[in-house]
Amino acid sequence: MAYNKAKEEKKWQLWKEAEEKQLRKLGVDESTIETLRSHDWAIFNSDRRYYQRMQEAGTYLEGVADDMQQPEIKTIQDFLNSIENQQLYQVLINVDKLTLQIALMKIQGYSTREIAHSLDITEKAVYRRLDRLKEKIKKFFE
């Protein structure tokens, strides 16, 4: 939500007036009240500048994040097309489709149990295929 300086200043004024009323009831002299007002006003302005900068930075960062977002990977072909390293791509195109599907689902955040259930294989088979894929990748990059 955007920082609304006028709204925040009005809230600050109401709070300050109530505080000063209490201070006067307690017998605090006007010079001390004025000193407190000046101090609190400086703090309010410092906070205001901070919140405005944070809002500007947040807006900028959201724009950068939108520009950098990669398309969602939904299929094995999308997965292969997203590989920028040619050596890794060469390894992956020679891997069977089931292993690629397992790797894709793992990237998408599925648990091993969910992958096994949806592909109708055992969890041990999922682990075994992922381990073999890791070994192929390691051998290729050594």
> Which residue bears the tokens 């999922």?
126
How far, in Å, CA of 5 to CA of 52, rounded? 9
pLDDT at 70: 57
pLDDT at 67: 55
Domain topology for 76-137: Arc Repressor Mutant, subunit A (1.10.10)
Domain boundaries of the chain, sorted by first residue = 5-68, 76-137
How far, in Å, CA of 11 to CA of 22, rounded? 17
Number of residues assigned to the chain? 142
pLDDT at 66: 58
pLDDT at 82: 80
* pLDDT tens per residue across all 142 residues of the chain: 566 778 888 888 999 899 999 999 999 999 999 999 999 989 888 888 877 777 766 666 666 555 555 557 778 787 788 878 888 888 888 889 999 899 889 888 899 999 999 999 999 999 999 999 888 888 877 7
> Which residue bears the tokens 């690629």?
100
What's the whole-model pTM score?
A: 0.49
Q: Give the helix/strand (H/E) hosting 99.
A: helix 97-107
Neighbours of 102 (CB within 10 A): 25
pLDDT at 111: 92
pLDDT at 117: 93
109, burial (CB in 10 Å: exposed 0-12, middle 13-18, buried 19+): exposed
Please answer whether residues 87 and 140 qualify as being in contact, where contact means their C-beta atoms are separated by less than 8 angstroms: yes
